[in-house]
Each structure stands twice: as C-alpha cells, then as structure tokens.
Amino acid sequence: MAEYNVAPLLNLIDQFNRLPGIGRKTAQRLAYFVLKMPKDEAEKFSNAILDARNKIRYCKVCHNLTDEELCPVCRNSSRDKSIICVVEDPRDVMALERTGEFNATYHVLNGVISPLNGIGPDQLSIKELLDRINKSKVEEVIMATNPTVEGEATAMYISKLIKPLGVKVTRLAYGIPVGGDLEYADEVTLSRALAGRGEI
Amino acid sequence: MAEYNVAPLLNLIDQFNRLPGIGRKTAQRLAYFVLKMPKDEAEKFSNAILDARNKIRYCKVCHNLTDEELCPVCRNSSRDKSIICVVEDPRDVMALERTGEFNATYHVLNGVISPLNGIGPDQLSIKELLDRINKSKVEEVIMATNPTVEGEATAMYISKLIKPLGVKVTRLAYGIPVGGDLEYADEVTLSRALAGRGEI
C-alpha cells in the first residue's frame, strides 16, 4: 500500500473504520459510495455530522437528547408531568415513543450502574431525577431500564432512593414477547410470565 | 415518532441510513456514536467526506482514483509502463498493490460490460485503453477482471480488440485459492485447476 497512496481516500476509509461495527472492507465500500455521491449529497452528509455534533445537547429536565433547551417531550404541555419513565438511553425513549401509548415524561440516565466498567451512580443523572421528584408533583416513577443484570441493579438502586419520598415506583412487566415462541423462550422469562399471569 | 423529533439527530440517522448496507438500527448506532465523539473528531470526519468527494478524480492515464493529475502508480517512473493490468475497480488495484509483486501499471475500467444493468462498452474506459496501447510501447496486457460471467465476457471483448494491435494478452491464472479446501472448491474451479496443473 506504500505505493498507492491517495491521502483523501485513505483518510475517509480510516474515518469510517473508526465507527463501531464498521470493519476495513465495509469502510472501503462506504468511502467509494461517498466518492460516487452527487456533490450536494456529500455536502449534506458532511453537514449533518457537524450539525448533529454541535447542536445536540441534553434536555435540562429529563437529560434526553435535544436541539433546544428542553426536549420535545418536556416542551409539550399536554404531557402528563406527574409520571416519569426512567430509561437508560435516548434510544429507549424513541422505542417507547413509537408505541404511541405513553403520554407522560421520561428521565434518561444515560447509562447504567456498572462497576466493571467503572460507572457508578454519580455518573448517571440520578441526582437530577431525585431533584425533579422533590421539586414537582410526581406520583409515579416507572423503572424502564433494560431487563439485564445491570439494568435490574440500577432499577433496584434508584427505587430504594425514591420510595422514601412517598412516590409509587413500578417496573415494566416481564413475560413472553408478543409474536415469540414458547419453545424458544428462556426459563427465567417463562417463569416470570407464569408468575405474572392474568385472568382473561 | 411525531412527538419526539430532534431534527439534527434524525437527519444524521437518515444520512447514515442511505449508505449501502446500513440499516435503520445501525444508522442509529452510528449517529449516537458521532454525538459522543470529541468535537474535533467529528469535524475531521465531516471534512474527510468533503475532502474525498471534492479532491478525488480519475487519473488521466489509467482512470484509477487519484487526488492529482496522475495516480501514484502512473507518476512513479520506476514502474514498467510496457505492461498494463486491466481491472474492473479501483479496489482491485489496492488488492494487487497489497501483494507487492506487481511493478507495472494498471488500467481501471470502472465497471464491467453488463447488458442487464444497461452498461455497454462505451461506458467503460475501453477506448482510452486502446488509445494508450496505440500511443505508447505496450508489450503485454493482463486481463484481471473478476472471474464472473460479466468479468469474463468483458475480458474476452477487450482481448478481441487488443490482439489485432500485436500486443500479448494474458489472463490471471485460475485454480484453487491458497489455504482453501479441495472439498469445498466448486467443480468449475477444480477442473480449471486440473487443466492448468504445472510440474513441481
């Protein structure tokens, strides 16, 4: 490769290669695709990166991503501010919003407690959640962290802090996923589904 | 999603989603990665796209990608200009350069003849290859198009045009790939390997 060195091309391949899950071959393919893009499309792509990086910040209330002071959910006066759904990640907000069933507010932790990765409670927006509960009339906090060991531990930790404040704390239901197959469900999920069975 | 609409973020996800092989989920993952990049890294990425798109063009001689008038191979005076290796794609040049065994020049067709996709000989740099052979002392043309139906057809088509010019035309050897397994080799490859066997 010493011989064939077209700097701007190699540089673009390197840049793509740094993205998570993008190997050298894929990076090459993407770089060649960019070379064949119309000029204005390449400019749009380039600007989208700068724009997103420079304009997006955390919502002052719920720590979700936003391009204004408050995120669209917190800005919306028709949202029920007395219920807070606690999630790990902004992507979880997107997933919940897609259901179209939730009309209250969120609180984004931006991580989970994970001693192995050196992430303790102080690095998450837990203090801000407690402040929020203390300052406004919150009736229910729904713990919607992921059903993983770390997600569960984080949910337990936070619920222990919140309960003394006299707020109802709930957790998303466990059970078999809709469209799933009992045969392939793991034992823990199945026994939770059994334990949580309801009358029909 | 109507509710939760952070324009710069959705825009960046859309842009990643347009790249080949990048689905919605991967595009989301990449966009979030960009948001967490240091500012100067995001700027470098953004500039790399513009830079590559705006600076890279085709080499005047061999139609490979370059950021100057001639590509690094054509600029290099120690390269043997009497042998031309014809390839489909700039990536093939990279692959051949990586062997470190080839010290002559290339000609990049930038495609293959493919009637189904509406690509005829006129859309490839075949005329330029013939001009090159006519103008300079070329002794051998190595057809290194891919061993696919279209690559073979293109190699045949070009070799028929070149042979009358009194130039030796060769084709890359077919055979079993090094490190491969006979058991998994297809019949055509195996019979080619048999036919092309050499004394040891």
Find chain B residues with C-beta within 8 A of A4's C-beta.
71-73, 93-94, 97
Q: What is the pLDDT of residues A52-102, one digit of tens each?
A: 999 999 999 999 999 889 999 999 999 999 999 999 998 899 888 888 888
Residue range B65-88: average pLDDT?
92
Strands B80-87 and B65-66: unpaired
Residue numbers in B near A66 (CB within 8 A): 6
Is the pLDDT reported for residue A106 higher than 90? Answer: yes
At A191, the amino acid letter reads: S
Q: Which residues contact B19 (CB under 8 A, 6 or more apart)?
A: A30, A33, B27
Q: How confident is the model at residue B190 (pLDDT cuts 50, 70, 90)?
A: confident
Please, are residues B61 and B70 in contact by the beta-carbon 8 Å criterion? yes
Q: Is the pLDDT of residue B1 over 50?
A: no
CA distance linking residue B178 with residue B28, whole number of Å: 39
Q: Rounded distance, CA A165 to CA A198, Å?
A: 30
**Rounded Cα gap, residues B143 and B90, in angstroms:** 15
CA closest to A45 among chain B residues: B15
Q: How far apart are CA A180 and CA A159, in angstroms?
A: 30
Contacts of A188 (CB under 8 A, 6+ apart): none
Q: Do A11 and B51 touch (CB under 8 A)?
A: yes
Cβ count near A53 (within 10 Å): 22
Q: What is the pLDDT of residue B7?
A: 86
SS3 A128: helix
Residues in B closer than 8 angstroms to A19, CB to CB, are 30, 33
Closest in B30, B35, B52 to A35, CB measured:
B52
A4/B97 touch (CB, cutoff 8 Å), yes or no: yes
Beta bridge partners of B105: B84
B45/A49 Cβ within 8 A: yes
Res B126: pLDDT:
93
Q: How many residues does chain A have?
A: 200
Which residues are CB-neighbours of B84 under 8 A, at least 6 positions away? B62, B104, B105, B106, B107, B129, B132, B133, B138, B140, B141, B142
Parallel, antiparallel, or unpaired for β A140-143 and A80-87? Answer: parallel
pLDDT, tens digit (0-9, with 9 covering 90-100), for B25-76: 999 999 999 998 999 999 999 999 999 999 999 999 999 999 889 999 999 9
Per this entry, what is the length of chain B? Answer: 200
Question: Which pLDDT band, with edges at 50, 70 and 90, does A4 fall under?
Answer: low
Confidence (pLDDT) at A186: 85
Is a pLDDT exceeding 80 seen at residue B198?
no
Cα–Cα distance between B15 and A34 in angstroms, integer?
Answer: 11
Q: Domains in chain A, start-ordered, CATH in brackets?
A: 7-55 (1.10.8.420), 65-194 (3.40.1360.10)
8 Å CB contact of B28 and A91: yes
Least Cα distance to B96 among A26, A4, A24, A25 occurs for: A4
Q: Which residue of A has its CA nearest to B59?
A: A6
pTM here is: 0.75
CB pairs under 8 A between A and B: 156
- Sequence letter at residue A51: D
Residue A73 and residue B4: Cβ atoms within 8 Å?
yes
For the cut 90, the answer to whether the pLDDT of residue A191 exceeds it is: no
DSSP letters, B52-110, are HHHH-EE-TTT--EESSSS-HHHH-TTSEEEEEEEESSHHHHHHHHHHT---EEEEE-S
- Taking CA–CA distances from B4, the nearest residue in chain A reads A72
| Structure token digits, residue B153 | 């057809």
- Is residue B4 very low, low, confident or very high in pLDDT (cuts 50, 70, 90)? low
Query: pLDDT tens, A109-162?
Result: 999 999 898 999 999 999 999 999 999 889 999 999 998 999 999 999 999 999
What's the pLDDT at B176?
A: 83
Residues in chain B closer than 8 A to A22 (CB atoms): 30
